[in-house]
Amino acid sequence: MNQPKNINQSGIAYIVGAGPGDRKLITLRGLECLQMADVVIYDLLLNERLLEYCPKHTEIIKAPDPRTKPNRQSELNQLLIDHTRAGKKVVRLKGGDPFIFGRGGEEAMALVKEGLPFEIIPGVTSGIAASAYAGIPVTHRDYASSVAFVTGHSAALNSESKINWVGLATAVDTLVVYMGVGHLRQIVDCLIENGRDSRTPISLVRVGTTPHQVVIQGTLSNIVEKTQEVGLKSPAIIVVGEVNCLREYLQWFDNKPLFRKQIIVTRARSQNSEFADILEEYGADVIQFPTIEIHPLEIDSNQLPTPQQYHWVIFTSVNAVEIYYDRLRDCGLDSRVFSDCHICAVGSKTVESLNRIGINPDFIPTQSSGKGIASEIKDIRDKRVLLPRAKISTQELPAILKERGAIVDDLPLYDTVKVLGNDSQSITESLLDGSIDMVTFTSSSTVRNFIEVLPKDKFPELLDNTKIAVIGPTTAETAIESGLEVDVIADQATIRSLADAIIDEYTDTKE
């Protein structure tokens, strides 16, 4: 039936399942659709970090709130139709799977009626994903050979509902109920009245697959009281059946060392990815709040010093490598210009960045401080040294190199510009209510800029109950001078080392 009336039109709608919450559970095809989208219409409660995969030109539209828009679905259908008809690649990004209680079928039918082309991109539904992250397999050879997915919405519970609760109560081993938290008592009573044993295990998994996941377990006879005690609210899925007993052995997600820890990352957004990924891998809820941006400086190509003029080029960061190499290419040069000089690279990521352009550094110091770098380089007297780096870098490294007899040219390549995020108010509120567990700093500028965001009358008390983690001694010194108490200092000035130190901090706390 999906035959467009005008086969020459270029517009198409992709109805994409985004998964249940963990952004990494989106499918490869779903990610491809986001990367080529002209328009994205996304649901509430989705992980908005998925939108970072969209091109810069993409128009981002948040779907109307169903609580305030009674005609929400017709509005959504019309948005899909209008943008697709206009010849755009439209992604309708939906939580979970679009065809499992996602109304994706209704949206697809609206496109069919208009003769517009579409594709359905399946997603991982919360019924299996949240269960899996809670350590509850919905089927298991020893416990359950059948499973049913059912809506727990109020309409499904009235006498006119098409759901056969009489048969369903005992017909399947595992019953997974969506949208049923607000009607939990009715669901439990319905199952017991229709033959399900009141001792049957039951679990509720709230915001499954996210660092805020909560799992409540009980039996049909006591689960209502247990959920009321903790005030559990939607969104959550309900799992009924003997498979719930396996969580005792199979729970894994909420055993991660950083599970439920809210950690602020203040690094530049362009550099956040690796750090955030590591922390998330260990269960953290990462709040990206960049306080700096990297801005390359304009340099006249005729005035750019090239490696042939030097005995040594010292790279202290990935930014220095990438920006300097970009400037060389602007001059029509490539990595061959480094053939007659020695290369020093500070840190494993700087080494990797050089490797990507075909350069293996001659020397990698064991220390990242200016003093350590300058003292470890051999045969430096009367040698010309180029130091491409940030405009605001400290003078320790060039000063010690000069003391050792080197001829140093300090080349400012980029500036770290202050960024004050639009959500500074929410960060302050989160610090006030104690929900932030840790703030991380990867440079002195991130410390200073973050502090400027905070209300002066509440600093430094605002951070009294929040741990502070820093990448090295220089950053630690800045933090201490600013009135902060530093809890974690990385062994080496690398993102991996900082992440390891944070993990160790919370692992030691748990033990």
Give Dmax (Cα) for the chain. Answer: 92
The rounded Cα 348 to chain-centroid distance in angstroms is 23
The region, left, alpha or beta by phi > 0 then psi within -120 to 50, assigned to residue 47 is beta
Instruction: In whole angstroms, give the CA distance from residue 66 to residue 207.
Output: 19
pLDDT score at 338: 94
Q: Is 43 a catalytic residue?
A: yes
Q: Sheet holding 407-418: strands in order across?
A: 292-296, 407-418, 384-390, 312-315, 342-345
pTM: 0.80
Q: Which of 94, 179, 438, 467 is catalytic?
A: 179
pLDDT score at 510: 54
Those residues with Cβ within 8 angstroms of residue 184's Cβ, 6 or more apart along the chain or in another chain:
152, 204, 223, 224, 227, 238
Q: What are the start and end residues of each CATH 3.40.50.10090 domain in the chain?
A: 296-418
Helices and strands of the chain, counted as H and E runs: 18, 20
Q: Is the pLDDT of residue 509 over 70?
A: no
Secondary structure, 3-state, 408-433: EEEEEEEEEEECCCCCHHHHHHHHHC
Instruction: In whole angstroms, give the CA distance from residue 77 to residue 84.
Output: 11
Cβ-contact 291, 441 below 8 angstroms = no
Exposure pattern of 142-170 as b/e (b: 16+ CB <10 Å)?
ebbeebbbbbbbeebbeeeeebeeeebbe
Q: What are the start and end residues of each CATH 3.40.1010.10 domain in the chain?
A: 12-123
> What pLDDT, in 10s, does the model give residues 193-221?
999 999 999 999 999 999 999 999 999 99
- For the segment 135-155, the average pLDDT, to the nearest whole number, is 93
Instruction: In whole angstroms, give the CA distance from residue 63 to residue 45.
Output: 11
Query: What residues are paired with 60 via a beta bridge?
Result: 40
Cβ-contact 33, 111 below 8 angstroms = no
Cβ-contact 204, 183 below 8 angstroms = no
The Cα-based distances of 81 to 7, 12, 91, 110 in angstroms read 16, 10, 12, 8
Q: Is the pLDDT of residue 421 over 60?
A: no
pLDDT score at 267: 81
What's the CATH class of domain 296-418? alpha beta
Cβ-contact 149, 56 below 8 angstroms = no
Domain 128-251 sits in CATH at: 3.30.950.10
Instruction: In whole angstroms, give the CA distance from residue 470 to residue 263.
Output: 13
Band (8; pLDDT cuts 50, 70, 90): very low
Q: Is the pLDDT of residue 384 over 90?
A: yes
Name the burial class of residue 90, with classes exposed (0-12), middle (13-18) and buried (19+) by CB atoms within 10 angstroms of its CB: buried
Q: What letter does residue 100 receive in the DSSP assignment?
A: S
- For the segment 483-493, the average pLDDT, to the nearest whole number, is 91
Instruction: In whole angstroms, give the CA distance from residue 418 to residue 125.
Output: 41
pLDDT score at 422: 54
> What pLDDT, in 10s, does the model give residues 438-467?
999 998 888 988 998 888 888 888 898 899
Q: Which of 24, 62, 69, 233 is catalytic?
A: 62
> Where do the H-state alpha helices sit in 3-103?
28-35, 72-85
Instruction: In whole angstroms, give the CA distance from residue 179 to residue 235.
Output: 7
Exposure pattern of 24-60 as b/e (b: 16+ CB <10 Å)?
ebbbeebbebbeebbbbbbbeebbeebbebbeeebee
Q: What percent of the chain has pLDDT over 90?
A: 67
pLDDT score at 1: 46
pLDDT score at 64: 83
> What pLDDT, in 10s, does the model give residues 20-52?
999 999 999 999 999 999 999 999 888 888 999
> What pLDDT, in 10s, does the model give residues 298-357?
888 888 999 999 999 999 988 899 999 999 999 999 999 999 999 999 888 899 999 999
Q: Is the pLDDT of residue 419 over 90?
A: no
pLDDT score at 95: 94
Right CATH number for 12-123 from 1.10.10.10, 3.30.565.10, 3.40.1010.10, 3.90.226.10?
A: 3.40.1010.10
Please give the single-letter amino acid code of residue 372: G
Lowest mean pLDDT among 249-258, 306-315, 487-496: 487-496
Q: Is the pLDDT of residue 279 over 60?
A: yes
Lowest mean pLDDT among 58-62, 314-318, 417-421: 417-421
Instruction: In whole angstroms, give the CA distance from residue 19 to residue 102.
Output: 11
How long, in residues, is the chain? 511
> What pLDDT, in 10s, does the model give residues 268-277?
766 667 888 8
Q: What are the start and end residues of each CATH 3.30.950.10 domain in the chain?
A: 128-251
Mean pLDDT of the residues in the chain: 90
Secondary structure, 3-state, 339-350: CCCEEEECCHHH
> H or E segment at 151?
strand 147-151
